[in-house]
Amino acid sequence: MAVFKGAGVAIITPMYKDGTVNYDELERIINYQIENGTDCIVICGTSGEASTLSEEEHSECIRAAVSFVNGRVPVVAGTGSNATYTAVQLTCQAEKDGADAALIVTPYYNKATQAGLIEHYTEIARKTSLPIILYNVPGRTGVNIEPETAVTLAKTCDNIVAVKEASGDISKAATMMHLADGCLDMYSGNDDQIVPLMSLGAVGVISVLSNVAPRQTHDIVAKYLEGDVAASRDLQLRAIPLIHELFNEVNPIPVKTAMNMLGWDAGPLRLPLSEMEPTHKEALRKAMKEYGLELRKTGVMVKR
C-alpha cells in the first residue's frame, strides 16, 4: 500500500533572520498546505535545507511537523546521509519522533557502487520498521539507483516500498516500473515530469512547486488519478514556466525566495546557499505573476 497517493510537498524550513528555525511559521505553512489539498508533508528534505540542519534541529523539525500535522496527512522525514551509520541513526530517531515514513537519498560524495547501495539501504531497512522511499537524484548526489537495484531492494526488504525518481531519465523510470511489476511505488521527483511519470504508473509527486502552489499541484495529480488526463496535462503544461524559474538556481534558493515574495516569513538561507542573483529573482517574480500568484507584503493569496 502506498505511503500516500497525490501531491506531497517537499516543504521549506522557515528561519528567523539569525538563522534559527521558525517553528511558528512552519506550523502556519503546514496548515496552509493541508487546507489546500496537499496529501503529504515531506520534512527535512533538500528543500528543507536538511544538509545544514544539526541532528538536534533535524529531530526537532520532524517532531514539530508530526505535532502540527496531527494525523491529518502522512509525514515523511528525510533521513539520508552519505554515512550508513548516520542514516540509520537519523531514520531510527525519525521513527521515535513519529514520522510515518522515511525518504532516504542515495549516499552522496562517496559514489557507492550498486552493490554498495544495496548494502546501504538493506542495513537501514533492517534497523527500522518505517516504510522507506528511496530517493534517486543523481544530479545532486553523483550516484544513480539503477532500475535493477531499486527492484532488488523492494523485493528483498519488505519496508522498502517506493522511489522518488528525480533522475530525469524517463527510459530508466519506465524500465524500473516494468521490472517492479507492482512491488515498488513511484513518485515523481521533478515537477515538470508529474504527468509523464504517472503515465508509467507513478502514484504522485514529491514537489517543490507545491510550496507556492499547493492546490494546483494537488490537482495535477488528482485529475490524473480521476481519469481526466487532458485536464491533468493542461495543468502540468501551464505550470512549466514557473517550474523552470523555481530551478533557475539550485533548490531551495528560488523556492524559499518565492515564499518570501508571497508573504511568508520564510527567512534567509543557510550558507553555503546564498541569496538569488537579481536577474534570476526578477525572472522568478515575473513567472509567479504570470502563473497567477499574488505577491503580497503580508499573508498569502493564491489565485486559481
Residues recognised as catalytic: 135, 164
- Sequence letter at residue 302: V
What is the C-alpha separation between 106 and 50, in angstroms, rounded? 14
**Structural contact between residues 173 and 197, judged by C-beta atoms closer than 8 angstroms:** yes
CA geometry: angle 145, 97, 80, nearest 5 deg = 20
- Residue carrying C-alpha cell 531510527: 92
What is the C-alpha separation between 96 and 106, in angstroms, rounded? 22
- Greatest Cα-to-Cα distance within the chain, rounded to the nearest angstrom: 51
What interhelical angle do 229-245 and 278-291 show, nearest 10?
A: 160
- Sequence letter at residue 57: E
* φ/ψ (deg, to 5) at 42: -105, 110
Angstrom CA distances, 37 to 131, 220, 221, 228, 299, stand at: 23, 11, 11, 18, 18
